[in-house]
């Protein structure tokens, strides 16, 4: 099967470690199942892996990808929950052995992926494979940040740093549907305009003085936006940090945090039940992921270039082998 691999890491030139190659189909252990991947979405986690973040060099080469929708061996159309841990349930994201596909186990950017059987959710017919493939990482992480971690209520104002990426578009759409007033920032005038078209109530340049302080900030940028995120919050507000694309060591500004009694919450991925709840929300509200582009798996390098350049608005989706086939039994 064709697979997209991280064969080495390079912080300065991450795409140098990206390769497409033929691999044997996975051999799932007991309790796991093979899924024929129809669509897989790109995430900044994949780029971080190629930079050497959170990956053991001894596990390379490894198949990239944390998002997928496909067909199970019994013919069911499924969404793959990417979290793998020994503590399934409410605490699965906090388990000591928490990982997501493409860290310890091969990921989803291939013809087939092996996952724990409990990680398969039925894909509703109302969602296309491309839409469903966008959900398990950026959209799930955003859903958890907004509805579990941020502590906001309908009518509250939420600022999202960095419009355009998968998290920012998910936050705009989910937050608007959830009754929050959504504001976004972006250096790009075009992206600010797109965010307003999606339903954002306001769009501002990074670091801009806002009309008023906000109840929560969703920040995946890190160092470049940290100070602005803290200053934007009302007393008692919450900064949910879930990424650090511009760097991970900003000045803490502890005086501001304790004097204004701010909450800084880290958030990563989400539980299987949160993924199922988000799918139900999409069906009820009609919200759908914004897809920047759809490419065949063999053009994955172009998708990675687009993501690395910051040109995208929404998700890049890769289509794997389209012909359904049940694999031969493992001897």
Quick: pLDDT tens for 265-323. Answer: 999 999 999 999 999 999 999 999 999 999 999 999 999 999 998 888 889 999 997 64
Q: Does the domain formed by 2-134+289-319 have CATH 3.90.180.10?
A: yes
Q: Indicate the pairing of strand 157-161 with strand 2-6.
A: unpaired
- By residue count, the chain amounts to 331
What's the CATH architecture for 139-266?
Answer: 3-Layer(aba) Sandwich (3.40)
**142: nearest Cα among 101, 173, 107:** 173
Q: Which helix (H) or strand (E) holds 67?
A: none
Please state, in angstroms and as integers, the Cα–Cα distance from residue 28 to each residue in 70, 72, 116, 158, 293, following that order: 16, 13, 9, 42, 31
Q: Whole-prediction pTM value?
A: 0.91
Cα 110 to Cα 23: distance, rounded to the nearest angstrom: 9
Q: Which helix (H) or strand (E) holds 192?
A: helix 189-198
Ramachandran quadrant class, 248 (left: phi over 0; alpha: psi -120 to 50; beta: rest): alpha
Q: Indicate the pairing of strand 77-80 with strand 120-122.
A: antiparallel
Span(s) in the chain for CATH 3.40.50.720? 139-266
Cα 293 to Cα 228: distance, rounded to the nearest angstrom: 31
* pLDDT value for 331: 47
What six digits make up the tokens of 156?
Answer: 């509250």
Query: Which pLDDT band, with edges at 50, 70 and 90, does 168 fall under?
Result: confident
Is residue 318 a contact partner of residue 42, using CB atoms and an 8 Å limit? yes
* pLDDT value for 95: 87
Span(s) in the chain for CATH 3.90.180.10? 2-134+289-319
């Amino acid at each position: 099967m064709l697979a997209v691999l991280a064969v080495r890491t390079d912080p300065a030139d991450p795409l140098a470690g990206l390769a497409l190659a033929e691999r044997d189909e996975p051999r799932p252990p007991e309790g796991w199942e093979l899924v024929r991947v129809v669509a897989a979405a790109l995430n900044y986690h994949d780029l971080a892996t190629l930079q050497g973040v959170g990956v053991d060099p001894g596990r390379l080469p490894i198949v990239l990808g944390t998002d997928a929708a496909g067909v199970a061996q019994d013919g069911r159309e499924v969404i793959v929950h990417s979290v793998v841990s020994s503590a399934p349930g409410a605490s699965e994201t906090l388990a000591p052995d928490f990982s997501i596909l493409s860290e310890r186990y091969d990921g989803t950017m291939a013809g087939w992926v092996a996952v724990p059987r409990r990680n398969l959710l039925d894909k509703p017919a109302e969602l296309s494979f491309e839409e469903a493939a966008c959900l398990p990482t950026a959209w799930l992480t955003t859903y958890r940040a907004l509805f579990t971690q941020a502590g906001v209520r309908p009518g509250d104002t939420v600022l999202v740093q960095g419009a355009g990426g998968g998290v920012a578009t998910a936050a705009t759409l989910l937050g608007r549907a959830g009754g929050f007033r959504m504001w976004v920032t972006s250096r790009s005038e075009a992206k600010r305009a797109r965010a307003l078209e999606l339903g954002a109530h306001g769009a501002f340049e990074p670091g801009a003085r806002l009309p008023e302080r906000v109840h929560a900030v969703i920040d995946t940028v890190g160092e470049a936006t940290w100070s602005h995120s803290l200053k934007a919050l009302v007393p008692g507000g919450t900064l949910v940090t879930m990424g650090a694309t511009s760097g991970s060591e900003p000045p803490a500004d502890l005086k501001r945090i304790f004097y204004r009694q701010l909450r800084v919450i880290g958030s990563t991925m989400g539980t299987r039940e949160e993924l199922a709840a988000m799918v139900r929300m999409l069906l009820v509200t009609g919200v759908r992921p914004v897809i920047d582009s759809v490419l065949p798996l063999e053009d994955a390098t172009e998708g990675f270039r687009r993501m690395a350049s910051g040109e995208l608005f929404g998700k890049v989706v890769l289509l794997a082998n389209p012909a359904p086939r049940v694999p031969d039994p493992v001897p």
